[in-house]
Structure 1
Amino acid sequence: MSIFEYNGSAVVAMVGRNCFAIASDRRLGVQLQTIATDFQRVFKVHDKLYIGLSGLATDAQTLYQRLVFRHKMYQLREERDMKPETFASLVSALLYEKRFGPYFCQPVIAGLGDNDEPFICTMDCLGAKELAKDFVVSGTASESLYGACESMYKPDMVIFT
């Protein structure tokens, strides 16, 4: 069993017309034993940017704390929020920095950039980015999520309110 599968996780992000959606499971487990059913995997960076962290739960929490710190430092220095592309580069650099003792996380980043253009990407634990125009998945259930996303995705989906 891979260390990525130890706690189990599933994160998915999908784009639509000037919008995005990001979702995850809430189960925290140790192999087949359920520990909690309210574990947070998707975190808000700012109003237009979210990150989902699949993988080892302790590494996900540590990585999120470091990302919050770096984002706040960016806000203080630049006096604005990060664009999704910039945040993805920050996450990639942070993961690559720890490549010899990596965080066992696979981030999914979803946000709205300039002119409310949706941006989604995922990475491996070393920070190699995979940009997508439709959907990205991460976690132990990724094979099942790929099938579900391929069958449900339509270009230019809109928000129903």
Structure 2
Amino acid sequence: MGDDIMGYNGGVALAMKGKECVAIACDKRYGVQNRTIATNFTKIFEYGPHCYVALCGLATDVQTVAERLKFRTNLYELREQRKLKPNVLYNMLTNLLYEKRFGPYFVFALVIGLDPKTGQTFLYDSDNIGAISDNVNLATVGTASEYIFGLGELFFKPDMTPDELFEATSQSLLNGFDRDSASGWGAVVYVIEKDKVTVRELKARQD
């Protein structure tokens, strides 16, 4: 993992759907290959009341893409005079990544959202050149993603309550990055519902 530019700084993110709720979570580690530099590096960014993006990959590109996306979303809201919808945010992100396809950003992305009126949930993932994905139930990106995806499928069940969703997301993430030296050092989990967002921090192995 450490030799690959995508895994150079480590890190992982996971998103999962429930019934009228959706969760997104990431680890807190920022490292250079196997050396841990910081344990408070955020990979989840808010772009609206019910819209979040998680970015994993090269740390400098994570911050660049997050800032550029923020600029575009602000511009959209000014021009359109309305709040961003999750599918619009996803299209905006994939356009941003595809524009740079000949010298791509080294990031993988997850986009989640919820329609506060209907309760419909959205979960998309994207590679570093903005390949379009379907609205899926479960997605993960980052260095521990191959471990976490299997665990996520094991814990996932349709129509989970917010508490069940938090538990499934947390267990998948914690058990997954215990098997990966490039991610870990605690986690942050966001559970988005129609009327509220719950943010919890998880403690994990510190090695």
Does TM-score exceed 0.5, indicating one fold?
Answer: yes
Distance apart, 1:28 and its partner CA: 0.2
Residue identity in the other structure for 2:118: N
Listed as ranges, the gaps of 5+ residues in structure 1 are: none
Q: Which residue of 1 aligns with 2:107?
A: 105
Aligned residue pairs total 161
Mapped to 1, the partners of 2:136 and 2:161 lie a distance apart of: 15
Q: What is the percentage of aligned positions where both structures have the same residue?
A: 44
Residue identity in the other structure for 2:44: V
Where in structure 2 are the equivalents of 1:1-161 lying within 5 Å? 1-113=3-115, 115-160=118-163
Mapped to 2, the partners of 1:87 and 1:132 lie a distance apart of: 13
TM-score normalised by structure 1 residue count: 0.97
Measured against aligned partners, the alpha-carbon deviations of 1:49-70 in whole angstroms (never above 9, x if no partner) come to: 0000000000000000000000
Measured against aligned partners, the alpha-carbon deviations of 1:112-161 in whole angstroms (never above 9, x if no partner) come to: 13612110011000000222431000011111111110110000001239
Residue identity in the other structure for 2:123: I
Mapped to 1, the partners of 2:110 and 2:137 lie a distance apart of: 13
Measured against aligned partners, the alpha-carbon deviations of 1:41-92 in whole angstroms (never above 9, x if no partner) come to: 0111111000000000000000000000000000001111111111111100
Measured against aligned partners, the alpha-carbon deviations of 1:81-113 in whole angstroms (never above 9, x if no partner) come to: 111111111100110000111110001001013
Residue identity in the other structure for 2:29: R
TM-score normalised by structure 2 residue count: 0.76
Misfit runs of 4+, over 4 Å:
none
